[in-house]
Structure 1
Amino acid sequence: MGEDTLPKGWVETELENLTSIKSGGTPSRSNKSYWQGSIPWIKISDIKSLYVDEATEFITEEGLNNSAARIFPKGTILFTIFATIGRIGILNIEATTNQAIAGLSPTTLINKMYLIYSLQKLADEIMGHGKGVAQKNINQTILKATKIPLPPRSEQDRIVAKVDALIAQVTVMQESLKRIPHLLKDFSQQVLTQAVTGKLTEEWREGKELGEWNYEVATQCCKKVQSGGTPRGGNFSNKGIPFFKVYNIVNQKISFDYKPQFVTEEIQNSQCKKSICFSGDVLMNIVGPPLNKVAIIPKRFKECNINQAITVFRPKDYLSNKFLYYFLREGSPVNMLVNETRGVVGQVNISLTQCREFVIPIPSEVEQQEIVRQVESLFSKADAIEQQYLSLKQKIDTLPQAILHKAFKGELVEQLASDGDARELLSEIEMLKSKSKTKKKPKTKSKKYAAGGDVVLGRVADGDLSYKKR
């Protein structure tokens, strides 16, 4: 934003004119006496929300004095300059940081939250100056030169109050939207449970002589229930017969785009003969977590195979593969076996034998068709709601930047003649800095840390409004 496009009474100035900017440092990891102390040491992963209340690592005073680390006071603005550029936080404790974080202590002549909102608005622009291949970094020179649009102090205060109120409304909307995916998931589960227990078609059955549902174990109602295996020596090919692994079951469908593997016809008809699969077969993973990943093999895969983490179910003619698919997706057979599962730590398995012993409900063929129809109809409605949710979420998530965009164009709050001119404010800030430079700076031999104490570092003091350093 150039001077000619600024709102009346505003001025554009470099960030370094409004705040001190210092970076942290990391004590040597090889010196154990520098670590496991009592001084909080903040890194990028500790900035999880606007206010930073705790650290996951701590350094000693010896580590502080023998590194570039410095103590930042409570209230310091944190701005990340390595890798994840532009993450912003406010220290709610006295702490040190690593060199990937810059600490900003603005003059009290400006509204601190106004500066934070400015940095949030400019974060992408600042990130664009990043250099590096594996990860983008910026240096203090780039950060200090960042141009900040500055209105008079009174207007800053009104802008912050308005942005605060609008962002609070956006947050309420975002929190409300968070419930929708859980509601949709619960709805889908209820549909499946009612489908396989007969409740979904209870009214539809009235007046129809359909008879009672039968119940059969999987080996009775399926022509085949079989898990697969991996070819000896990982003998895969670049083309041939598609070979599915658990990661190929995505969102309860087959997805063969990610890491596709194949076996030759020779392997298919020898080592993997027992687990040959065809389009229309139902697959379910038996190694997790998570379990309950289910898919029907699409028509485009006329013949394929599976590894030992998947079981194939090939239903007999009187059992619809789609009804079987929804029965397995419902998850009750697997959930009842959770306490009986076995496997290595972090892995949950069910056995082929247990799959073969699943008790499967068998409605009449006409009712199976009706169940599938109703389930797909309800799922289609749920999918439509999910798409509306995603579209709305995307729009709401862009609102904060839209609000900030209007704020820094001077369009969010009314401009008042009584506000004065920001050039006067900037002159006052520059005069304050000049005075502070003329003051004699006491020499210190070491940096001190006292939890809860009065640490002043590169900030404007509350009393005489001069910059002090410790």
Structure 2
Amino acid sequence: MSELPKGWYRITLKEECTSIKGKKPKSLVIEQSESLVPYVDIKAFEKGIFEKFAEFNSGVLAQKDDTLMVWDGARSGLVGNGVKGVIGSTLVKITAKYSNTRYLHYFLKLQFDHINSNTKGTGIPHVDPAVLWSIPYPVAPLNEQIRIANKLDSILTKVDKAQARLNKIPAILKRFRQSVLAAATSGELTKSTFTSSEWESVKLIDIVENKPRNGKSPKGVDFDTGVKNLTLSAITPGYFVENKYKFVDLDVPTDSHLWLKNQDILIQRANSIEYVGVSALYEGEDDHYIYPDLIMKCRANARVLSKYLYYALSSEPVRKYFRDNATGTTGNMPKINQTVVSAAPINLPQIDEQKIIVNKVERLFKKADKLEQQYLDAKARLDRLTQSILAKAFRGELVPQDPNDEPAEQLLERILKERLSQQQKADKPKKTTKKRLIKAKAKAKVADKG
């Protein structure tokens, strides 16, 4: 364990913190009024989006400067500032006993990776209290804590602004790719070479070898059967992702339609409305995977290039067509059926033009991919910078020390003495006044005569 700077003192988070887990109120409303406060669930906590409201006394109330931590789920251990509101059961409010509130907040942010990688639970992960509360906590002198917190406020505000600018890039790239696909599937990309009269409006069924077919989804097993069944996540990004599968104990004949072949088109027939109809082109090894019931498969015929068909299915007009024609009852995933998929509208040029379109789209997408990788690299560097700054702060290297500051050990002793004194005063029996004594004696005489 590293040596602490002069005047610092080490305790555990259990000695430093008090905590209280949130609870979902029995009654929530969507209309805000003066008597209500926001209901802070995971979405509100992470994105600052408040869609529900509750009575302030209906649960655990957090204030704006409170530190909140995600207790359950994939982001367990994530720390953020509170808002005035009632917190949900997946959040915990953490309060400092001795430290500056912001100082503790930043220290907990530094611990995210450690807490998140050591969660508890076989289903939904959650923070392991034994891990969290046993973390060594370096307490700096109080004035130094304030200087550290102020410095972190200043530096990390700039980092957050840079992060906010970076976070705009994925949306820009998404719009760029959709613009490319729109131009590619409308003739704009090749209008200087070809005329629009050479295009046809067809349905998907007109340009595939067979009707789109559902896959199969038996229950997964925990041993290698040799049969890899894809999961929805294999194509949810809009392209094929390797190794997203489960083993299934199923006898699949070698000539079964379930086996994927190179150049097969995969279409999600059920998912959230945002993802229903998402497509991917499989360009891997034949007969390596089978596909699930929530995905449909089809294969381009001689009239269309597989990659052009994939681009057409990924274009916004076709994606909108799938969303508009999805059905489903409340609480269930929106679905598209074989009839809907077969009737998907496709703008079809001649094969020669398709080849040119595919080449141009690939070149443009490669540029977008390069920019996206640069964004990911920059984001990773920024994330590392934040952690590096926090680590530096809690090694005592971020701000200068002041020899006149009260050492942390003395601070803790003083606070404990003050609290003990307050507790003793609160517990001390009240003095019996002269009047009370006279009344007590009078009552005793009456009792004796009786």
Give the structure-1-normalised TM-score.
0.66
CA 1:433–1:188: 2 relative to 1, 3 Å: same
**CA drift at 1:96:** 9.7
**Alpha-carbon deviation of 1:380?**
0.8
| 1:378-413 deviation digits (Å, cap 9, x = unpaired) | 111111111111111112123332112111222212
Displacement of 1:418? 4.8
Report the structure, 1 or 2, having the larger strand content: 1
User: Identical aligned pairs, as a percentage?
Assistant: 23
Give the deviation of 1:326 after TM superposition.
1.3
Structure 1 unmatched runs, 5+? 65-69, 444-470
Structure 1 residue aligned with 2:267: 284
Structure 2, unaligned runs of 5 or more: 29-34, 430-450
Distance 1:85 1:358 in 2: 42
Q: Distance in 1 between matches of 2:21 and 2:390?
A: 32
Equivalence for 1:322: 307
Judged with a 3 Å threshold, the aligned counterparts in structure 2 of structure 1 residues 392 and 265 are, in CA distance, closer, same or farther, namely same
Pair 102,82 (structure 1): closer, same or farther in 2 beyond 3 Å: farther
TM-score computed with the length of structure 2 as normaliser: 0.69
Aligned residue pairs: how many? Answer: 411
Q: Which residue of 1 aligns with 2:160?
A: 171
CA-CA distance at 1:434 after TM superposition: 4.6
Q: The residue matched to 1:298 in structure 2 has which SS? A: coil
CA distance in 2, matches of 1:94, 1:75: 11
Alignment of 1:131-146 (within 5 A): 137-138=128-129, 143=133, 146=136
Match of 1:409 among 375, 378, 395: 395
2:425 maps to what in 1? 439
Distance 1:310 1:128, change over 3 A: closer
Deviation at residue 173 of structure 1 after TM alignment? 1.4
String of CA shifts for 1:66-113, please: whole Å, max 9, x gaps: xxxx99998665668899875556666598998995753535xx5332
Which residue is 1:365 aligned to? 351
1:148 aligns with 2:145: no
On the 8 A contact 1:296/1:325 being kept in 2, the answer is yes
1:293 maps to amino acid: V
User: Structure 1 pair 437/91, CA: closer, same or farther in 2 (3 Å)?
Assistant: farther
Distance in 1 (alpha carbons) for counterparts of 2:295 and 2:240: 16
Q: Taking structure 1 as reference, are residues 171 and 248 closer, same or farther at Cα in structure 2, changes over 3 Å only?
A: closer
The alpha-carbon deviation at position 277 of structure 1 amounts to 7.0
d(CA) in 2 for partners of 1:278 and 1:133?
Answer: 36
Q: Is the 8 A contact 2:182 2:315 kept in 1?
A: yes
1:441 and 1:16 map into 2 onto residues whose CA distance is 28
- For residues 263-316 of structure 1, the C-alpha deviation after alignment (integer angstroms, 9 at most, x for no partner) is 533873xxx6xx887533434344444233223343521698765851414221
Matched, 1:258 2:241: no
Q: Corresponding residue for 1:11?
A: 8
Instruction: Using the TM superposition, give the Cα deviation of residue 226 of structure 1 relative to its aligned residue in structure 2, in angstroms.
Output: 0.6
Q: Distance in 1 between matches of 2:364 and 2:233?
A: 27
Cα distance in 1 between the residues matched to 2:350 and 2:76: 61
Other-structure match for 2:207: 222
If asked which structure has higher relative contact order (CA below 8 Å, sep 6+), I would say 1
2:271 touches 2:334 (CA, 8 Å); kept in 1?
yes
Note the 1:45-444 alignment, pairs <5 A. Answer: 48=45, 86=77, 88=79, 101=92, 103-107=94-98, 111-122=100-111, 137-138=128-129, 143=133, 146-151=136-141, 153-203=142-192, 205=193, 212-218=197-203, 222=207, 224-229=209-214, 238=225, 248-250=234-236, 251-253=238-240, 255=242, 257-259=244-246, 264-265=252-253, 268=256, 278-289=261-272, 290-298=275-283, 300-301=285-286, 309-316=295-302, 318-336=303-321, 338-345=323-330, 346-419=332-405, 421-422=407-408, 425-426=411-412, 428-441=414-427
Residues 375 and 394 (structure 1 numbering): CA distance in 2 closer, same or farther, change over 3 Å?
A: same
* 1:16-62 Cα shifts (integer Å, max 9, x gaps): 8986x5455899x9xxxx976999999995992699x999887989x
Query: How big is the shift at 1:233?
Result: 9.8
Residues 430/170 of structure 1: CA separation in 2 closer, same or farther (3 Å cut): same
**What is the SS of the residue equivalent to 2:188?**
coil
Alignment check: 8 A CA contact 1:248 1:255 kept: yes
